[in-house]
Amino acid sequence: MRSLPFSSPTSSTTVEIPILVETDLEADESGTLYVVNFLCTSSEDYGTEARIPFEDIVDNLVEFYQDWQGARPLYLIANELARQAERLRVTADRLEGMPVYDDESSDEE
């Protein structure tokens, strides 16, 4: 019996597909923070959204580093998150203090 080359169950191949990935942070009305990834191929107008609660990511980090790495990586991650949180607060405070102009009123001055 003759075997066809494409019928072998141990064959493998690689397919390269260019994918555009955009990552964002979003909070819903209840305050739940999500890491949102939008994935699409270059030929698509609409892609796929992957939404992960940030708390789940932190839970996984804690579990992983608790079992394998110890405290140092957790301190490094926590410090960077605190630094970025402060940056967001400073920017939000600055934006709250800025006067809001619509297009018409800013043209008149």
The domain made up of 18-98 has a fold known as: Nuclear Transport Factor 2; Chain: A, (3.10.450)
96, with CB counted inside 10 A (0-12, 13-18, 19+), is: exposed
Q: Determine the Cα–Cα distance for residues 76 and 106; give it in Å rounded to an integer.
A: 44
Q: Residue 106: its pLDDT value, please?
A: 47
Residue 11: pLDDT band (50, 70, 90) is: confident
What pLDDT digit, counting tens, does each position of 71-85 carry? 888 999 999 999 999
Contact, 74 vs 64, CB < 8 A? no
Phi-psi region for residue 102, left (φ > 0), alpha (ψ -120 to 50) or beta? beta
Q: Residue 33: its pLDDT value, please?
A: 97
Q: Determine the Cα–Cα distance for residues 71 and 64; give it in Å rounded to an integer.
A: 11
